[in-house]
Amino acid sequence: MTHKSKPLILGIESSCDDTSAAVVCGPQVLSNVVANQELHAEVGGVVPEWASRAHLEKIHPVVQSALDKAGVKAQDLDAVAYTLGPGLQGSLHVGTSFAKAYAWALGVPSIPVHHMRAHVLAHVLEPEPSPGCPFLCLTVSGGHTQLVKVNTPWDMEVLGQTLDDAAGEAFDKVAKLMGLPYPGGPVVDRLAQQGDPEAFAFSRPRMEGFNWSFSGLKTQVLHFLKREQAADRTFVERRKADICASVQAAILDMLCAPLMDAAKQLGIQEVAIAGGVSANSGLRARLGELATSHGWNVYVPPFAFCTDNAAMVAAVGWLDFKEGLRGELGAAPSPRLPHLRTLAAPEEG
């Protein structure tokens, strides 16, 4: 069964606290439904057990909503793609079990997808132009920070990564230290737009190669805030925009330095960003500046494809399906899935 001569793929994403389902027809997104779990904001972070239970409640209605919005029936689907990892163990189990059972009941293949590979390959989705291979992708989220060289959709090389905390986690931690609401990254970004990025000086540690470390910056900010608040209890409230702008400038400098080095050393001018932090307005602006100064072709995903979503999972499913790659019913979800290369195997025959 095909739709307009292209396969119809259902994607399911449940790696953390967002339950999402999407239907794609080739690179065209027919629907992309995301159900957020606002209950975690009460405690300032994701509670794994709550997330798993919420996925159980939401996954079937979310999938049905995605089918309805796409105007297709379950029987029209050619395959079901799902996130196998990395992520929260319980959340992954819910999505994996549902997706494999759903595909089995329909008599169609299930296709396991690496979460970070999905972020990278979200760039194949319309309506935005796709980068040509090879390209560099700075993939930044609350749980990951990686610099990936994409030779093909099935051949990706991690050139560098964070050695401790992710950039997104650093944003959220700084927000928490300042008493800002969860999730803190978007709040820091919004306040930074109103502040002076040179108001306060924070060092930009560099690691060997194309790697990062953000733990030292978090410690700097912690001691800085303690010192200033000891002298003036109103300091954070009075200067929160300048604090956010200064911290964000440091994080962006740290993110872009290895990217610039890699692009120069490898002679690559196709550069993309992906992951939740790719929605950050400062990072988007910085990439625009680098595109002008370095002659890069920069690819920035639409906001809907930055944070965790099933359209990017379905996109990988579409690419792998075209190549005859299929998953196994025995595939087990893994919170620390080790690599970005495809998880499915070629179809026999």
Write out pLDDT tens, residues 147-161: 999 999 999 999 999
User: What DSSP designation does 268 have?
Assistant: -
Least confident of 30-39, 42-51, 215-224, 316-325: 42-51
Mean pLDDT over residues 336-346, rounded? 84
pLDDT band at 345 (very low <50, low <70, confident <90, very high): confident
pLDDT at residue 43 in the model: 53
Strand runs (DSSP E) across 36-124, as ranges?
Answer: 79-85, 110-114
pTM (predicted TM-score): 0.93
pLDDT at residue 2 in the model: 45
Closest CA to 326 of 348, 311, 307, 305: 348
Checking if the pLDDT of 51 tops 90, the result is no
232-to-122, 227, 238, 239, 313 alpha-carbon distances in Å: 46, 9, 10, 11, 48
pLDDT band at 48 (very low <50, low <70, confident <90, very high): confident
Checking if the pLDDT of 12 tops 60, the result is yes
User: What DSSP designation does 212 have?
Assistant: B
Give the chain's domains with CATH numbers. Answer: 8-123+305-346 (3.30.420.40), 130-300 (3.30.420.40)
For the chain, how many residues are written?
349
d(CA 127, CA 224): 44
Checking if the pLDDT of 40 tops 50, the result is no
Residues 6+ apart with CB under 8 A from 200: 224, 242, 243, 246
Tens-place pLDDT, residues 100-157 = 999 999 999 999 999 999 999 999 999 989 999 999 999 998 888 999 999 999 999 9
